[in-house]
A and B are shown apart, each in its own frame.
Chain A
Amino acid sequence: MTRTRTAAPLTTTEGRTFGVVEAAPYPWPHDGSIDPEHTAVMNIDWQRDFCGPGGYLDAMGYDLSLTRAGLRPTAAVLDAVRPLGFHVLHTREGHRPDLSDCPRNKLWRSKRIGAGIGDPGPAGRILIRGEPGWEIVPEVAPLPGEQVVDKPGKGAFYSSDLDLMLRTMGVTHLVLTGITTDVCVHTTMREANDRGYECLLLSDCTGATDVANYEASLNMVTMQGGVFGSVATSASFLAALR
């Protein structure tokens, strides 16, 4: 099942369409052309809590250079797609201040490893909506008019209004950036794919807490003939937009 483009676009701008991206395991998208009106660049969880000092990952002792590595390429992608009329959306993982939307096991695990959700830290309360650590880092900050989806879980579709918004926008194709590759990005890509969105993961616009897990995550997409979508570098994606 793939999504058909039945929803009317919100704008009447007639823009260009583009050819396929050199991607693995298949040239993306499968239907042969990229239409910005129906394509969203989804930027997953570029939050200080995951790639900035004093946040959730930093508190657990992970190497932030791995999750920060994709920031510059992502900023370049955003600079390229915004003038071309692509939809641009962002997600944030975080919980209500009273933790009423935080599963107890999630809370317990985070406390056990010294990064308790809701606990005070250098970037404010960890993974709590409205706190400094929860904000998207300035390098890839949303522009006015770009939607930000708040989510309580790893998948951006679970318990959010993302699917409704994408339908309303007429979006059928997603280009993914964000962190971490193996957790929130992969979960979101899997959810999107099940719902019929045609997905492209930008391999240098993402990173994980462990390099081998990052590589395995990419292989999980490419090695199964593309059951989740396809993978490309941002250079290949940008080349298709020229």
Chain B
Amino acid sequence: MTQGRTRSGPGVAGRAGGGRLGLEGLGEGTVPYPWPYDSALNVARLALVVAGANQRWTDRCVDPAPARAAVHQTTAMVRRYGTHVVFLRHASQVVGSRGPDCHRLSSPHRRSRDPHELGVRPMPTDTVVDAAGIDGFFGSSLDTMLQAWGCTHLAIAGFGLEGPVHSTLRSANDRGYECLLLADACGAVSEQTRQGALSTVTMSGGIFGAVGNSAHLAALLEAAQAAALGPDLRGHLLP
């Protein structure tokens, strides 16, 4: 099966990122293009959005611990730059309003927790937004707030990469936000769908934005701050 005539052929050898199409080179930089599209990142126009922050989604992830650690680290990092941090909580559908209890958690020990409770801990300066859908923009004030803050660029992380993270990313992209999906700060429901969820973003030149890691974001923020401050003031960041 051909991957496309512009590629070097089927089964491109030496793919990184689990061998998935579009994720080659993720280690070196954001893919499939150097994010952001407009080159100069303005920290004041950036927000970090952590989707799927309630327990129903944090509990679904196959291996949430590394994602939790990365979310914790990344939120701490961006706060130093004064970047807005938003945690999204997604409404549970009323059990029984859909015949098959599709929001039933498969593992009995998880059922004791309130699915709407946050599975991660925001800081007082962070914003928690409740959304009516799996998409963080649906039935929420997210868009209004981002517009009020003047945000044009979003770094997106969270739990349920295949669910709230991707739905929120797609919605943001349709609205014209320039999005960077932080692959290492996302918990996924399965490894196979994780790879598909990341790869799809890179199709068609970056159909939903770009994929990167929190280290890429850190480097971008540092460079943006240095450029804004000028050569004499580099290094004087918020404590």
Contacts and interface: CB of A to CB of B under 8 A. Distances in A.
Contacts of A216: 192-193, 195-197, 199-200
B26 interface: no
Given A216-B195, A224-B163, A210 B178 contact: no
B104 A30 contact: no
A105 B37 contact: yes
B162 A220 contact: yes
Given A187-B174, A190-B170, A213 B207 contact: no
Given A153-B174, A224-B60, A227-B134, A30 B98 contact: yes
Main secondary structure of the interface of B (DSSP, over half): loop
Interface in B148-170: 162-163, 166-167, 170
Of all A-B residue pairs in the complex, the 7 with the closest CB atoms, nearest first, are A216-B196, A194-B133, A153-B174, A113-B205, A30-B99, A103-B176, A61-B6
Interface of A: 1-2, 25-26, 30-32, 56-57, 60-63, 66, 103-106, 108-110, 112-115, 152-155, 158-159, 180, 182-183, 186-187, 190-191, 193-195, 198, 208-213, 215-217, 219-220, 223-228
Interface of B: 1-7, 20-21, 33, 36-38, 60, 93-94, 97-104, 106, 132-135, 138-139, 162-163, 166-167, 170-171, 173-176, 178, 189-190, 192-193, 195-197, 199-200, 203-209
17 contacts: A57-B204, A62-B204, A108-B38, A109-B205, A114-B6, A154-B170, A183-B200, A183-B207, A191-B171, A193-B133, A209-B203, A215-B196, A216-B197, A217-B196, A220-B193, A223-B193, A224-B189
